Amino acid sequence: MRHFAERGAPDENGILSLGWHGPYRAIAQDYSGPGSPYWAAKGLFGLALPADHPVWTAVEEPLPVERGDFARVVRAPGWLVSGTRADGVVRVVNHGTDHSHPGSGAGRRAAVRAAGLLDGHVPAPGG
């Protein structure tokens, strides 16, 4: 948390912005809005669980990719998730949330491509 707070998130008014270190609209998708960072913050709520909660006390189990190669379909978002044990890499292929028409240049993939994220490289803030 400190990493982001020391680099401009939240802003001078205490508001979370669309971006890692302050506003960076190029990383946002068409449907992203001012409340999106707050929805994302829900992922951190688990950190507020008490120390005796099973999340913290249960015996750690190996991840699927640590047990072997796997592939799973996650129907609701339209994902294919696969992993290879040899390199430990888990991949998500998205077949469900890009509802643009092929060749239109619109939609999520165009925005992500423009931001340089399809190849796993995130541009520097402001650049």
pLDDT in tens, the chain (127 residues): 777 778 877 888 888 888 778 788 787 777 777 777 777 777 778 888 999 999 999 999 999 999 999 999 998 888 899 999 999 999 998 876 655 555 555 555 555 554 444 444 444 555 4
DSSP 8-state class, residue 59: P
* pTM as predicted: 0.45
Q: What is the pLDDT of residue 116?
A: 45
Q: What does the alpha-carbon distance between residue 30 and residue 114 come to, in Å, rounded to a whole number?
A: 12
Q: What does the alpha-carbon distance between residue 61 and residue 87 come to, in Å, rounded to a whole number?
A: 19
Q: Does a cis peptide bond (omega within 30 degrees of 0) precede residue 64?
A: no
User: Smallest Cα–Cα separation from 37: which of 23, 48, 47, 50?
Assistant: 23
Residues 6+ apart with CB under 8 A from 87: none
Q: What does the alpha-carbon distance between residue 7 and residue 22 come to, in Å, rounded to a whole number?
A: 7
For residues 81 and 72, the answer to whether their CB atoms sit within 8 Å is yes
Length of the chain: 127
| DSSP H or E stretch at residue 67 | helix 64-67
